[in-house]
Chains A and B, each alone.
Chain A
Amino acid sequence: MQKNIICVACPMGCGVTVELDDNGAILSVTGNTCKRGDAYARTEITNPVRSLATTVKVEGGIFNVVPCKSAGALPKDKIFECMEVINNTSAKAPVKLGDVLVADILGTGIDIVATNHCPIK
């Protein structure tokens, strides 16, 4: 089986083709123009991850929501599940930048942290 991906390791945007066997093991990576492309393609095929940035509801703050992000990359296929958890979370003002709003989200080992301050109203 073949999978085509676009490498985003740098602005070049190379089209990379990954050849897989029936068990999903990588046979070859072609089309990349550098080593970083090879590495990116391998991770993207075996365990694609994304960082997530969104907002969390705040009670009693000057804003309704405070921005947050995942402190590390999350499995790509868990992004919407994580959104659900985050949407059901609410923080109490004051929120400080760096506060952990959701610890170890979905057992991924990754925290969701505030990326701005939200003082009390």
Chain B
Amino acid sequence: MLNYDIVVIGGGPAGMAAALKAKECGVDSILILERAETLGGILEQCIHTGFGLHYFGEELSGPEYADRFIELVKEKEIEYKTDTMALEITENNVVYAVNKTDGLLEIQAKAVILAMGCRERPRGALNIAGSRASGVMSAGTAQKYVNIDGYMPGKKVVILGSGDIGLIMARRMTLEGAEVKVVCELMPYSSGLTRNIVQCLDDFNIPLRLSCTVIGIHGKDRVEGVTIANVDENRRPIPGTEEYIECDTLLLSVGLIPENELTRAVGIQLDPVTSGAVVDENRETSHKGVFACGNVLHVHDLVDYVTLESQTAGEGAAKYVLGGGEEPEYITTKGVSGVRYIVPQKVNIKNEGDVKLYFRVGQVYKNAKTVVKYNGEEIISKKRPRLAPGEMESVIIKNDMLKKFAEGGVIEISVEE
């Protein structure tokens, strides 16, 4: 049995930032477990730029953003094992993992930080009718083939879903010589960033069809075409609007799901909206000493926010390991009318700093207000010229305000038009 103060599961941006922060806070015995061959996580294949504007104040590519943390992990001599898969976390924070060189690892941790990231929703979840020909893959899989392996997964492409990965891959495939015929989006708005719509689609004259979906996949061995159709306000295809589009590839960019299999297996409470753990302001889950951060907690739009959140978790885990602190007194947070979720879901009112609440709205709003209420009473109101589901919002609850709250209280955030 190995012993570490903190075991971090996942060596992507979340895991690395959490580990580095914990180290900075005085914990030396830290081990990062990473399932891929290198640290860096999904950033390694995100070769486009646009990362780091908030955190570093410059535009980096994914690998560059990751490299800054990889270098720090090495410099600070934080231990890590790549090509290593965590299989199980026990009630007592024993982590089981495997790799080729160590075999089965049994690691007793004082604290565990979950930073496993997320995965893409597959075709099955959409139940698209038609054949099971090759040429249907998630946008992220295609991204790996093009950017890491250096192979083209298709020549004539239809993309379903206008999330950022879908938009980025539309441009990427076009630059590499493929013809992207259309990007279809089920919703009446794109969930991607506006700049990506302009720079990835408009620049290359790739049409974006809103309220439109793929209803059929054709082709026996390899995809030969898809049928798309417009959808009504209930997202059902409108008969008569079907259109056949010849293509050899269908890329799916239809949402991300936190990878919480380990979390679920140990019985940690999950939030049905985020599909991530329910956490407090330190990102501690319902299981004592287990923290979660990054896309495994909730899907972020910017890696910069992942880094910040993970530092919070790293600091929280360090505090936990180093001991002290009294029994927490929690208030809960709740998104209402227009706000889909809030992270953290609970806040310890004995916390000594300010607390930042992150939240997401359910639709696009223009010139709206976000209103924070404590036990029904308005405490903060912020005018927002634009709110969109693709962009994470935040609000800070100042510590002096927090001190006035009582255990069991409820903070609600809503959108008012």
Give A contacts to B, CB under 8 Å: 6, 8, 11-13, 33, 50-55, 57, 63-65, 67-69, 76, 79-80, 83, 97, 115-117
Contact = CB atoms under 8 A, between A and B. Distances in A.
From A53, A76, A83, A97, name the one whose CB has the most chain B CB atoms within 10 angstroms. A53
A64 B149 contact: yes
Given A11-B193, A50-B199, A83-B175, A65 B64 contact: no
Given A11-B194, A33-B385, A64-B150, 17 more contacts: A8-B194, A50-B199, A54-B47, A54-B175, A54-B176, A55-B147, A57-B150, A63-B148, A65-B147, A83-B175, A97-B67, A115-B47, A115-B64, A116-B44, A116-B61, A116-B63, A116-B64
A54 B48 CA distance: 7
A91 to B, nearest CB: 12
B75 to A, nearest CB: 15
A63 B149 CA distance: 7
Interface of B: 44, 47-49, 59-61, 63-64, 67, 146-151, 172, 175-176, 193-195, 197-199, 202-203, 385-386, 388, 391
Nearest to B151: A64
Contacts of A76: 203
Nearest to A57: B150
A115 B202 contact: no
B59 A51 contact: yes
Contacts of A97: 63-64, 67
5 contacts: A8-B199, A53-B61, A65-B148, A97-B64, A116-B63
A79 B391 contact: no
Nearest to A64: B150
Contacts of A12: 194, 385-386
Contact of B386 (A11, A51, A69, A80): A11
Contacts of B193: 11
Contacts of A80: 175
